[in-house]
Amino acid sequence: MPLDMIVLVKHIYDEDQLKVDQTTGSVSLQGVPGKVSSFDRNALEAALRLRQKLGGTITTLTVGTDEANKSIREALAMGADNAYLIRSNVATGYDARQTVEILIGALSKIPRWDVLICAEGSTDFYTSLLPGMLAERLNLPLLSYMRSLDFDGRSLRGDRSLERKLETVECSLPAIVSVVSEICEPRIPTLLQIMAATKKQISKIDVTELGLQIPPRYKLEGMLVKTVTRKRQIFEGSPSEVALKLYESLSKEGII
């Protein structure tokens, strides 16, 4: 029972290298290097394990500028069979609803698929809106926040991880699945896989080809780094000396 899978991969600005204005605290994305959204690797790994078990194909979909090719190559190195870049010129990207419409436009150009797997959210803006939106727009079942996933030939099934509950859920194909990072550790590609990936073709669809007119519903106004200045009083010395210092600090802060 092979599965033809789509995996969503997003190329984001690297959260460890954001530019911050020291005086105002305002954050700029200009010239910030990009990387793949970490949880997308978990989603791809989940797909790879299903393919290992059941056979099938994995096609990644990415909406972005040409910069995104870097992340797409990583996905190919991990083992994706095919990759699409839905090319746009908008460096700042699209909001959730726009992204969904673009993805749906692109999906219509992909022959057939059984499951679309994505991360619970992207590590930049983390709206987590995509899975629910896709499910409603495509009128397909959604298994969200999955920490395990399997297919028995008829139903897709697994454990859904909520704050205090664990649900076992199932649905039939085709379906949308969003996964949590606990589902599996992403593999580290070998040199051989990396070299093969640099030779693979990335299929391109230009956003303009999709002929969509979707205005943004959310407009980002500004970003500020949250600053909390910590006292940073560091004590060194013998264990009993530092323990005493910590104890005195607890007292001073009124905690004990």
Partner 1 sequence: MKNNVIVYSEDIELASELLTPAREIATSTGGKVIMIVIYKVEMNDYTRLVGADVIVSVRLPDELGVPTPEFTSAVVADIFKSRGAGFVLLGSTRDGKELAGRLAVILDASAATDCINIQFKENRALVERLVYGGRVLSSGILEAGPFVIGIKPRSYQAIASGPEPSIEEFSIQSPVLKTRVLRSGEAERGSVDLTKADKIVAVGRGLKKKEDLELIHTLAEALGAAVGCSRPLSSDLGWLPEDAHIGLTGIQVKPKLYLAVGISGQLQHLAGIKDSKVIMAINSDKGAPIFQNCDYGAVGDLYQIVPELTKLIKAKR
Partner 2 sequence: MYWSEEIKVTEINGRGMVFPFRSLSDYEIKFKPEHEMFRQVVREFAEKEIAPRISYIEEHNEVPADLVNKMLSQGFQGISIPQEYGGQGGDQVTLAIFSEEIARVSPAIVTLMGANGLFVFPLLFYGSEEQKRRYLPQIARGEKRSAHATTEAVAGSDVAGIQTKAEKVNEGWKINGRKAFISGGDVADYFVVLARTSPIANKKERWKGLTFFIVEREREGFHVARHMEKMGLKGSHIVELQLDNVIVPDSNRLGPEGEGFKIAMETYDHGRIGVAAQALGIAQVLFEKCLNYAMQRTTFERPLISHQIIDAYLADMAMKLVSARQLVYWSATLADQGREEYKFAASLAKAYATEAAEWIAEKAISIYGGAGVIVETQVERFLRDVEITKVYEGANEIQRLVIIRQLLKLSLGVDVMSM
Sequential DSSP letters for 125-142 = T----HHHHHHHHHT--E
Smallest distance from partner 1 to CB 128, Å: 4
Measured CA to CA, the distance from residue 139 to residue 132 in angstroms comes to 10
User: What single letter denotes the amino acid at residue 221?
Assistant: E
Residues 64-93 binding partner 2 (CB under 8 A) are 73-74, 77
Choices 68-76, 85-93, 205-213, 223-231 (CB under 8 A): range interacting with partner 1: 223-231
Smallest distance from partner 2 to CB 185, Å: 9
Which one, 155 or 193, has the nearer CB to partner 1?
155
Which one, 33 or 126, has the nearer CB to partner 1?
126
Residues in CB range of 155: below 8 A, 6 or more apart? 170, 171, 172
Residues 109-168 binding partner 1 (CB under 8 A) are 120-121, 123-137, 140-145, 157, 161-168
Name the β-bridge partners of 28: 19
- Is 104 in contact with 83 (CB distance < 8 Å)? no
Kindly tell me which residue out of 197, 202, 205, 207 binds partner 2, with binding defined by CB under 8 A.
197
Q: Is 247 in the site for partner 1 (CB under 8 A)?
A: yes
Which one, 72 or 142, has the nearer CB to partner 2?
72
Smallest distance from partner 2 to CB 118, Å: 22
Q: Is 191 in the site for partner 2 (CB under 8 A)?
A: yes
Kindly provide the b/e burial profile for residues 138-173, where b requires at least 16 CB atoms within 10 angstroms of the residue's own CB.
Answer: bebbbbbbbbbbebeeeebbbbbbeeeeeeebebeb
Kindly tell me which residue out of 188, 228, 255, 256 binds partner 2, with binding defined by CB under 8 A.
188
Residues 118-147 binding partner 2 (CB under 8 A) are none
Q: Is 246 in the site for partner 1 (CB under 8 A)?
A: yes
Q: Is 9 in the site for partner 2 (CB under 8 A)?
A: no
Smallest distance from partner 1 to CB 194, Å: 26
Intra-chain end-to-end CA distance of the chain, in Å: 62
Which one, 36 or 202, has the nearer CB to partner 1?
36
Which one, 107 or 140, has the nearer CB to partner 1?
140
Residues in CB range of 141: below 8 A, 6 or more apart? 135, 171, 172, 175, 176
Q: Is the dihedral of CA 170, 173, 176, 179 positive or negative?
A: positive
Q: Cα dist. 36→62, 223, 232 in Å?
A: 10, 21, 33
Smallest distance from partner 1 to CB 180, Å: 7
Binding site for partner 2 (CB under 8 A): 73-74, 77, 188-192, 194-195, 197-198
